[in-house]
Copies of this chain bind each other. A is one copy, B any other.
């Protein structure tokens, strides 16, 4: 019997999945083991595979199959219907941007990245500005075309790529609710913590010993080392592919915990991938539900679980054994105070859980204004510094600590930043429900048993894949729509409790 249009689509996307897996391995290799001089050769390989992948998505044959599969979709089971919807979504995103614009964007962002790195070194925003302006202009074109194609406002169309189904109106509402309470909460927490200083946890911690801690913790959580690796690279990331997940981190010999927390962040991503529906692993519906959900899973482990007394109770013997540490600064109460310290700071990547959303809101407002043309690129440094003063309560002394700190805009990633704050809020809402469903959670975590935690996440989040929208997934998992209330309850309880 001939394959149905739907079956043929599955076959095309199975090929696409294998190509994307190969791309992921080549990128991992480039970051971890590739010799320095081989970037040109790798660039050719990546370009060739990306061209193949793009060709599958944009082939007239695939579009015809989508139409025929949709016309004959009665009788398809839920998962297949959802898969067809995701296949269409990927096709729509791919064909909305003409090849010529894709090529111009690739070149413009490559140039802008080089000049961004240079400007960050020299603190000369003006040298970077024309290149950023070119990227902004091209992204504006892209957002317009994408919006037309998807029936969304331009900025919403960009957000849809990273946080499917979430609209600017949703983000505005969530950020408004959060932003109303946060500045006061930050002030109160800082005052409270000033009365409870923590002891420094200094020392020298060789990479091999830190690695031993990381591996022990990853194994306890359930990371499968027979189908994954942990390596070092300049910037930590989760790479590879389902069935061959590769985490990287950077281990700082002067900091016993920074590398481990990075590993836990990436392990959160990896556990999401490992919990995706196995039967659909090579189809769009079997993949993760976008960057906001991804961040929710990494932040849940790094920020919520790891910076909790039960986890630190579990961790302490491991630190003692592998790092040979002892003394009151390594006791759970001090470690907890150390890891939940709140401070007003300039660099997003180093910010704590409580001040982090303000960093994102600042970028969210500015990137919308850049795209609408309301804000000119030349005016960005002043606008950034004013916003930092008002949102973070602290003014960057230089653009390196201001609008030059992140590379996302140079790379054309507009619409991405909201996912970081949304991810944090999603994590807190899931956590509230998880704890109410599972009363023994603290005791389990304190003895290094993560089966309850990940059993719940698999059932309610990971195993759903991309079968529903972010909003539906959260409604189903927690019984309520996504809102700022659980996040505020969590933050108030954590940062205003006496300790």
The answer to whether B38 and A29 have CB atoms under 8 Å apart is: no
The answer to whether B37 and A25 have CB atoms under 8 Å apart is: no
CA distance A423 to B37 in the complex (A): 31
The answer to whether A22 and B49 have CB atoms under 8 Å apart is: yes
Copies in the complex: 2
Which candidate, A236-244, A270-278, A429-437, is the interface stretch facing chain B? A236-244
Which candidate, A201-209, A225-233, A476-484, is the interface stretch facing chain B? A225-233
The answer to whether B26 and A22 have CB atoms under 8 Å apart is: yes
Which candidate, A39-47, A97-105, A329-337, is the interface stretch facing chain B? A39-47
What per-residue 1/0 map shows which CB atoms of A32-76 lie under 8 Å from chain B? Answer: 011111101110110111011000000000000000000000000
Which B residues lie within 8 Å of A34 (CB)?
A: 244
4 pairs of A and B residues whose beta carbons are closest in the complex: A18-B48, A38-B244, A41-B243, A37-B226
The answer to whether A41 and B21 have CB atoms under 8 Å apart is: yes
Most B C-beta atoms less than 10 A away, residue of A22, A226, A242: A22
The answer to whether B243 and A33 have CB atoms under 8 Å apart is: no
Question: With A37-B243, A38-B243 given, can you name 15 additional A-B contacts, CB distance below 8 Å?
Answer: A18-B45, A18-B48, A19-B45, A21-B45, A25-B29, A25-B45, A33-B33, A33-B229, A34-B244, A35-B228, A35-B244, A36-B226, A37-B226, A41-B241, A42-B244
The closest CB in chain B to the CB of A244 belongs to B38
CA distance A222 to B22 in the complex (A): 31
CA distance A37 to B242 in the complex (A): 12
Jot down 24 A-B pairs with beta carbons below 8 A, ordered by A: A15-B51, A18-B44, A18-B45, A18-B49, A19-B45, A21-B44, A21-B45, A22-B45, A22-B48, A25-B25, A25-B45, A29-B29, A33-B33, A35-B225, A35-B228, A36-B226, A37-B227, A37-B243, A38-B244, A41-B243, A42-B244, A44-B282, A45-B241, A49-B49
Name A18's contact: one of B37, B47, B242, B244 (CB within 8 Å). B47
**Interface SS, A side:** helix
Which B residues lie within 8 Å of A26 (CB)?
A: 22, 25-26
Chain A contact patch, size range = 35 or more
A224 with B15: in contact, given A22-B49, A42-B244, A52-B52 (CB under 8 Å)? Answer: no
What per-residue 1/0 map shows which CB atoms of A242-270 lie under 8 Å from chain B? Answer: 11100000000000000000000000000
The closest CB in chain B to the CB of A49 belongs to B22
A residues adjacent to B (C-beta < 8 A): 15, 18-19, 21-22, 25-26, 29, 33-38, 40-42, 44-45, 47-49, 51-52, 224-229, 241-244, 282
The answer to whether B49 and A242 have CB atoms under 8 Å apart is: no
CA distance A49 to B16 in the complex (A): 11
Which B residues lie within 8 Å of A243 (CB)?
A: 37-38, 40-41
**In the complex, how many angstroms separate the beta carbon of A137 from the nearest chain B beta carbon?**
31
**In the complex, how many angstroms separate the beta carbon of A297 from the nearest chain B beta carbon?**
21
Name A41's contact: one of B38, B47, B51, B242 (CB within 8 Å). B242
CA distance A243 to B42 in the complex (A): 9
CA distance A47 to B225 in the complex (A): 24
Which B residues lie within 8 Å of A40 (CB)?
A: 243
The answer to whether A229 and B41 have CB atoms under 8 Å apart is: no
The closest CB in chain B to the CB of A228 belongs to B35
**In the complex, how many angstroms separate the beta carbon of A356 from the nearest chain B beta carbon?**
33
Which B residues lie within 8 Å of A242 (CB)?
A: 41
Which B residues lie within 8 Å of A45 (CB)?
A: 18-19, 21-22, 25, 241
CA distance A47 to B15 in the complex (A): 9
Which B residues lie within 8 Å of A19 (CB)?
A: 45, 48-49
CA distance A349 to B36 in the complex (A): 34
**In the complex, how many angstroms separate the beta carbon of A279 from the nearest chain B beta carbon?**
15
CA distance A208 to B498 in the complex (A): 54
CA distance A243 to B224 in the complex (A): 33
Which B residues lie within 8 Å of A22 (CB)?
A: 22, 26, 45, 48-49
